[in-house]
Every structure is written in structure tokens, then in C-alpha cells.
């Protein structure tokens, strides 16, 4: 029984390490955006995409190495939370696409999103960077969250039937 406690403690330590890695990645990816934006809603959404993408990817591919592998209630919760989460992520992704379309039309009200005295080239560069990051992590998060209920259902079934796998 003592060995199982050490295993669980090691899995919990790995979970905390992965959350630290996730936060470092989110900071490093969004760090160039903080300086040029005044309204940070797209930066916050990018952070959410990064956290969801990394966390759900870990649970999708490495569930048996987490301390949640045999926690059945968490899997059921994740199945039912993932369904509306997919729709929400798609909604905020398309809201960013509408923002980009407004930018390309040159609307003046979009100047409120950026700091004062930003040049056209700086604005173009920061939007280009944000679009690449937002698209990568946004599409990745949407796909991973879409796939995760199926993986959680398989894992739930395996643990429930005591097949020896997660």
C-alpha cells in the first residue's frame, strides 16, 4: 500500500510540473502581445487556448500517467464539460475571425485595441503573430476537446470493467 501512495504522490508531482510548464508556455507565447494591446481579451483567450490544448492533450495521450487515471467521476465530468466547451471555443475563435475582418476593412474603432502611437507595420506584425498563435492553439484546442469525450469514455469503460488498462 505504501508503494501505491508513492506512485500517487509522484503522479501528483508530475501534474503540478505539467501545470508549471503550461504556465511557462502560456507566458512565453503571449509575452510579445502584452506591450502592444490595450484591450487584452484576445490575449486572455490565447492563454485559455494554450492551457486547454496542453491539458487536454496530456489527458488524451497520457491519461494512464496522471493521478486522475482511475478517478471515474472526473472522467464523467470531463465528458460532459467538453461538449459545451467545444461550442464555446468555436464561438470565440470565430469572434477573432470577425475581428480580423474588421481590421482588414480599416475600421477606426479597432484602434482602441492597440496602444497609442503604434505604427502600421508594428500593428501588422503583432496581428500576424497573434493570428498564427491563435489559430494554432485555437484549432488544436477545439480538436483535442472534441476528441477527449471519446477517449474518456473508453478509459471509463476500461477501468469499470477492470481490463488492466486506462
Q: Tell me, what's the pLDDT at 105?
A: 63
Whole-angstrom distance, CA of residue 134 vs CA of residue 43: 9
The answer to whether 31 and 14 are in contact (CB under 8 A) is no
The answer to whether residue 166 sits within a structural domain is no
| pLDDT tens digits, 122-166 | 888 998 999 999 999 999 999 999 999 999 999 999 999 988 888
The answer to whether residue 152 sits within a structural domain is yes
Cell readout for 114 is 492597440
The answer to whether residue 126 sits within a structural domain is yes
Looking at the 3D structure of the chain, how many domains does it have? 1
| pLDDT tens digits, 54-110 | 999 999 999 988 888 889 999 999 999 999 999 999 999 999 999 888 776 666 667
The answer to whether residue 114 sits within a structural domain is yes
Q: Tell me, what's the pLDDT at 106?
A: 62
The answer to whether residue 144 sits within a structural domain is yes
Residue 19 CB contacts under 8 Å (≥ 6 apart), including other chains:
none
The answer to whether residue 9 sits within a structural domain is yes
Q: Domain range for residue 113? A: 2-160
Mean pLDDT is highest, among 18-27, 33-42, 69-78, 157-166, for: 18-27
Q: Tell me, what's the pLDDT at 103?
A: 72
pTM greater than 0.85 (yes/no): yes
The answer to whether residue 63 sits within a structural domain is yes
Residue 43 CB contacts under 8 Å (≥ 6 apart), including other chains:
30, 33, 34, 37
Question: Angle at Cα 133 formed by Cα 12 and Cα 40, nearest 5°?
Answer: 85
Q: Is 109 exposed, middle or buried (0-12, 13-18, 19+ CB in 10 A)?
A: exposed
The answer to whether residue 165 sits within a structural domain is no
Residue 40 CB contacts under 8 Å (≥ 6 apart), including other chains:
34
Amino acid at each position: 500500500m505504501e508503494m501505491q501512495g508513492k506512485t500517487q504522490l509522484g503522479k501528483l508531482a508530475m501534474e503540478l510540473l505539467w501545470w508549471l510548464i503550461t504556465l511557462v508556455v502560456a507566458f512565453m507565447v503571449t509575452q510579445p502581445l502584452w506591450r502592444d494591446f490595450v484591450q487584452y481579451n484576445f490575449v486572455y483567450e490565447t492563454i485559455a487556448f494554450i492551457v486547454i490544448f496542453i491539458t487536454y492533450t496530456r489527458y488524451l495521450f497520457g491519461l494512464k500517467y496522471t493521478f486522475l487515471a482511475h478517478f471515474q467521476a472526473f472522467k464523467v465530468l470531463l465528458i460532459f464539460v467538453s461538449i459545451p466547451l467545444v461550442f464555446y471555443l468555436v464561438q470565440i475563435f470565430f469572434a477573432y475571425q470577425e475581428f480580423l475582418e474588421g481590421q482588414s476593412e480599416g475600421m477606426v474603432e479597432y484602434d482602441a485595441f492597440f496602444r497609442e502611437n503604434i505604427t502600421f507595420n508594428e500593428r501588422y506584425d503583432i496581428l500576424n503573430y497573434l493570428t498564427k498563435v491563435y489559430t494554432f492553439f485555437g484549432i488544436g484546442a477545439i480538436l483535442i476537446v472534441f476528441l477527449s469525450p471519446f477517449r474518456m469514455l473508453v478509459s471509463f469503460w476500461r477501468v469499470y470493467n477492470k481490463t488492466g488498462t486506462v
